[in-house]
């Protein structure tokens, strides 16, 4: 079947079975390989993307369910040479080792910071609990999210 997907501000026509996962369509048909395959069961967060601004597990979403919705992947975060503030914060905090979890972590953090830009450690750990980092860089990820939140507050976006 043909589906029209809105990904990173661009419209894409794709041919796929309705039950094919969004993750598979992003990676295999649109070549957006920044979104990672981890468990395939909604348990690790490696495949996290934004769907109409909310963090979702793309391995558990059928492509037929997301047609017409606004999908954002890690490739849609930077504007030209300018990294998204959360990407910049992860870079500055060196909040990764192998980097496999990082796209999903960043998108979960972006969704979190849409709701509050003064999160507590407890809020961050609770809301990002479903994102697993096998390298164990959690303390730096925490630091990066706080840094990104501070950057957002300094721009006057108090939430
Ligand atoms: S690959 Fe989707 S949650 Fe693990
Ligand atoms: S940096 Fe390796 S899994 Fe998180």
Is the minimum distance from the CB of 45 to ligand 1 under 6 angstroms? Answer: yes
Label residue 158 by pLDDT band (50, 70, 90): low
Closest C-alpha among 136, 84, 122 to residue 106 = 84
Identify which ligand lies nearest to the alpha carbon of 99. 2
* Separation between Cα atoms, residue 139 and residue 113, nearest integer Å: 18
Is the minimum distance from the CB of 42 to ligand 1 under 6 angstroms? Answer: yes
Identify which ligand lies nearest to the alpha carbon of 131. 1
Contacts of 88 (CB under 8 A, 6+ apart): 148, 151
Is the minimum distance from the CB of 47 to ligand 1 under 6 angstroms? Answer: yes
Atom 3 in ligand 1: residue holding the nearest Cα: 42
pLDDT tens profile 21-36: 999 999 999 999 999 9
Average pLDDT, the chain: 96
With a cut of 90, say whether residue 3 has pLDDT above it. yes
pLDDT tens profile 48-102: 999 999 999 999 999 999 999 999 999 999 999 999 999 999 999 999 999 999 9
With a cut of 80, say whether residue 157 has pLDDT above it. no
């Amino acid at each position: 079947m043909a589906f029209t997907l809105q990904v990173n501000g661009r419209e894409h026509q794709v041919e796929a079975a309705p039950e094919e996962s969004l993750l598979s369509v992003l990676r295999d048909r649109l070549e957006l390989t920044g979104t990672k395959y981890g468990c395939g069961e909604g348990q690790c967060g490696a495949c996290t993307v934004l769907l109409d601004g909310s963090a979702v597990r793309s391995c558990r979403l059928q492509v037929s369910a997301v047609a017409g919705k606004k999908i954002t992947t890690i490739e849609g975060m930077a504007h030209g040479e300018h990294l998204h503030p959360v990407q910049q914060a992860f870079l500055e905090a060196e909040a990764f080792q192998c980097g496999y979890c990082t796209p999903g972590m960043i998108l979960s953090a972006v969704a979190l910071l849409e709701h509050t830009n003064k999160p507590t450690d407890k809020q961050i750990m609770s809301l990002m609990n479903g994102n697993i980092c096998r390298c164990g860089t959690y303390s730096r990820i925490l630091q990066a999210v706080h840094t990104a939140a501070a950057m957002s507050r300094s721009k006057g976006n108090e939430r």
